[in-house]
């Protein structure tokens, strides 16, 4: 079984705020049901009963709901690679997946808290993502009529972890900053965001360098101000990083064009010629392609399409009898990935101004 929702659909070509640097904005709200113990303290029967109640409320408010056990493995991979659900969550057959049929919103049930509502939009659009999760919550409560959230007048919404009590708001912005990395200015720019109270992590590795020059700017748990004010601060920090990235591009193109054009050219050459690619290698190549398109050096593909390659090339082809995924010609996964990228990049080339 698969589910249809804007959350799992590729980003359409178009104009999105700060999209040359900011790939997406994600906002989440966590809630717990009044008078009910936290998920980790519920027995199987209690978790099932609460899950059925929340699933019914989600269906009534416009979500399509299915049990993880009923989903096709390939669809689970899509959900995981789009970072809608964690793989451990999807591996538990008792868990439910809930996707909104009209908005890029989704819900998690009985994970860390009873309910988590999420929404994600392309570009720097936390206000619209916040509207989606807030509207989802209002519609769910109106549809149910019986659900009440655990709330305290002094500390706010009650969470399973004390540090998250308050608004229970979480938000993040995914930033592509290859010019800052090339110029050696990434550490300085990201440090300023951290000094302002935000968290920075690599999209693919929280311990080492971020493959693809992708970084996630997010709110720390300590933010307890009103939601709109908090999101406005996050937006301002993201815009500052986006401006740093643009200035770094301009400086590289002006003062040392061979450095940035070499990165772009090598990415294009590898995209059109490589025969074996690991996930991290593909992530770095796509980063170079997106950099070239963003600064006008490359043409033949739009930003939305090249960004989708980060997701599609990470999804593994289905395995066969537990063996590594291969085609009928015993083609390994790394070769399948390289072939897919060669096909996608076939029409990309340097613009006339550069060549």
Residues of the chain with pLDDT under 70: 203-211, 221-224, 316-329, 354-355
Q: What is the pLDDT of residue 20?
A: 96
Q: What is the pLDDT of residue 353?
A: 72
Q: What is the pLDDT of residue 42?
A: 92
Q: What is the pLDDT of residue 223?
A: 58
Q: What is the pLDDT of residue 146?
A: 87
Q: What is the pLDDT of residue 143?
A: 87
pLDDT digits (tens, 9 = 90+) for 252-308: 999 989 999 999 999 999 999 999 999 989 999 999 999 999 999 999 999 999 999
Q: What is the pLDDT of residue 329?
A: 65
- CA–chain centroid gap for 117, Å, is 14
Q: What is the pLDDT of residue 319?
A: 45
Q: What is the pLDDT of residue 161?
A: 87
Q: What is the pLDDT of residue 245?
A: 96
Q: What is the pLDDT of residue 210?
A: 53
Domain map (residue ranges) of the chain:
12-245, 256-350
Q: What is the pLDDT of residue 226?
A: 84
Nearest to 355 by CA among 252, 283, 257: 257
| Domain 12-245 CATH class label | alpha beta
pLDDT digits (tens, 9 = 90+) for 339-354: 999 999 999 999 877 6
């Amino acid at each position: 079984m698969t589910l249809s929702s804007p959350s799992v659909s590729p980003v359409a070509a178009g104009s999105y705020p700060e999209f040359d640097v900011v790939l997406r904005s994600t906002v989440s709200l966590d809630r717990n049901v009044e008078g009910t113990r936290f998920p980790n303290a519920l027995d199987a029967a209690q978790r099932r009963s609460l899950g059925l109640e929340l699933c019914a409320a989600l269906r009534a408010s416009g979500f399509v709901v299915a049990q993880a056990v009923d989903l096709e493995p390939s669809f689970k991979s899509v959900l995981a690679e789009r970072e809608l659900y964690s793989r451990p969550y999807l591996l538990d057959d008792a868990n439910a997946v809930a996707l909104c049929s009209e908005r890029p919103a989704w819900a998690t049930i009985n994970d860390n808290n009873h309910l988590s509502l999420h929404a994600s939009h392309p570009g720097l659009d936390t206000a619209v993502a916040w509207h989606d999760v807030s509207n989802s919550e209002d519609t769910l409560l109106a549809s149910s009529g019986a659900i009440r959230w655990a709330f305290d007048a002094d500390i706010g919404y009650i969470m399973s972890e004390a540090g998250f009590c308050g608004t229970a708001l979480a938000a993040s912005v995914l930033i592509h900053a290859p010019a800052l990395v090339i110029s050696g200015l990434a550490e300085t720019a990201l440090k300023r965001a951290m000094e302002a109270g935000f968290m920075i992590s690599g999209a693919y590795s929280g311990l080492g360098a971020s493959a693809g020059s992708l970084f996630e700017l997010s709110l720390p748990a300590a933010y307890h101000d009103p939601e709109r004010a908090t999101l406005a601060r996050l937006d301002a920090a993201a815009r500052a990083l986006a401006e740093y990235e643009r200035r770094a591009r301009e400086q590289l193109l002006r003062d040392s064009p061979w450095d940035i054009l070499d990165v772009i050219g090598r990415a294009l050459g590898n995209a059109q010629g490589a025969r074996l690619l690991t996930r991290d290698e593909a992530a770095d190549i796509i980063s170079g392609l997106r950099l070239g398109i963003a600064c006008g050096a490359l043409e033949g593909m739009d930003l939305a399409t090249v960004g989708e390659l980060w997701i599609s090339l990470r999804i593994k082809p289905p395995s066969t009898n537990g063996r590594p995924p291969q085609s009928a010609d015993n083609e390994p996964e790394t070769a399948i990935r390289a072939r897919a990228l060669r096909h996608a990049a076939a029409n990309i080339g340097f613009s006339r101004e550069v060549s």
